Amino acid sequence: MLRLRSLFLSALAVCAYAQSDRGTLTGTVSDPGGAVAPGATVIATNPATAGEFRTESTGTGGYTIPSLPAGLYDLTVEFAEFRKHEQKGIRVQVARTARIDVTMQVGSTTARDQLNQLPLNFATGVGAVRNPLSFVQLSPGGVAARPEILQRGVSTRSTHSAT
């Protein structure tokens, strides 16, 4: 009787595990030459729920993010002296393991981040138009006139005469 009870409880535990709504994301992070990248930061984000799951790659470059709720995820991998890797729309299924191997690309993220922060479009909102004269602010020592003057094309020269 005790043996039958143990068997029943074991079967119940297996069935309960099978009812999980979780999956796993795993893979290896390496450089373009195939060398592993230990210590890379790996982030899986579910855009629908804003859930974020983080881990670091191991000494062998491997990473595993277990117990992810099933759904679509965006994967971000960062490693010093390499560009940030982003991959969107990774499907994590119930009781399955999705394998995503990542090859990092050489190059610092700072150059790209600085480029993205350049003030190329000063207008905001619906129907905003980029003003080509705004590029004056990008040149060393360049100073743009007031925006209303640039938009109307009014001269910035003084019209007062000396007395």
pLDDT digits (tens, 9 = 90+) for 51-79: 999 999 999 999 999 999 999 999 999 99
* Judgement on whether residues 132 and 82 belong to the same structural domain of the protein: no
- pLDDT category at 99 given cuts 50, 70, 90 is very high
- For residue 157, tell me if it sits in a domain: no
pTM of the entire predicted model: 0.58
Identify the CATH number of the domain in which residue 47 sits: 2.60.40.1120
From the list 66, 53, 64, 74, the residue with the least C-alpha distance to 26 is 64
- pLDDT category at 125 given cuts 50, 70, 90 is low
H/E segment holding residue 46: strand 41-46
Cα–Cα distance, 157 to 149 (Å, whole number): 11
In this predicted model, what pLDDT tens digit does every residue of 19-55 receive, in sequence order? 689 999 999 999 999 999 999 999 999 999 999 999 9
H/E segment holding residue 92: strand 85-92
Cα–Cα distance, 22 to 97 (Å, whole number): 10
Query: Could you tell me if 70 and 23 are in contact, meaning their C-beta atoms sit under 8 angstroms apart?
Result: yes
- pLDDT category at 107 given cuts 50, 70, 90 is confident
Report whether pLDDT(90) > 80: yes
Q: What percent of the chain has pLDDT over 70?
A: 54
* Judgement on whether residues 97 and 127 belong to the same structural domain of the protein: no
Tell me which residue range forms the domain holding 87. Answer: 2-108
How many structural domains are present in the chain?
Answer: 2
46-70-21-23 Cα dihedral, nearest 10 degrees: -100
H/E segment holding residue 15: helix 2-18
